[in-house]
Amino acid sequence: MRRQFAIFLTRWLLNTFGIWLAIELFGTGLSDAEVTAGIGGFLLAGFIFSVVNSILRPVIVIFSLPAILLTLGLFTFVVNGFMVWISLMLAPNIGMAFWNSIITGMVLSLINYIVSSLVVPPNEHQHVRKEA
């Protein structure tokens, strides 16, 4: 249980950093929008994204499975961008255009992939058999 909580905290902090980095690099894409959130606002946005990504994303992926199959997986970028866009709409003082959210979704997907590959939880149910 502690390991899962540590993984969630790591993802939360890295998602927060990814959102901040994406806004700094790509901007909001909104004409007169200015990001007025401090570190607390970005931490809240990262938390909202982590929760939305773990709860809502599987449902959206199931419903968009025909589009994902039709585009050979490329529609997943749109799903990831939608998750970012929804998260930033729920976070106060942070906003982003949908097309910039798709690019941010790519950045956050890369970050989450790296985290997942680095902290693979050990499978406790596998036993190594010794040959006699």
Pick the more confident residue, 122 or 75.
Answer: 75
> Among 69, 23, 75, which Cα is nearest to 49's?
23
CA-CA distance, 85 to 38, in Å (whole number)? 19
User: Is the alpha carbon torsion for 19, 25, 30, 33 positive or negative?
Assistant: positive
Full-model pTM: 0.78
- How is the chain split into domains, by residue range? 2-28+37-117
Query: Residues of the chain with pLDDT > 90: what percent?
Result: 30
Task: Give CA separation, 33 vs 23, 28, 37, 52, 111, in Å.
Answer: 12, 7, 12, 23, 26
- pLDDT tens for 34-79 read 666 788 888 998 999 989 988 999 999 999 999 999 999 999 999 9
Return the C-alpha torsion angle 57, 63, 66, 68, nearest 10. -10
User: In this predicted structure, which of 8-12, 37-41, 122-126 has the lowest mean pLDDT?
Assistant: 122-126
pLDDT band at 124 (very low <50, low <70, confident <90, very high): very low
| Degrees, nearest 5: CA angle 44-61-42 | 10
Determine how many CB atoms are found less than 10 A away from the CB of residue 77: 15
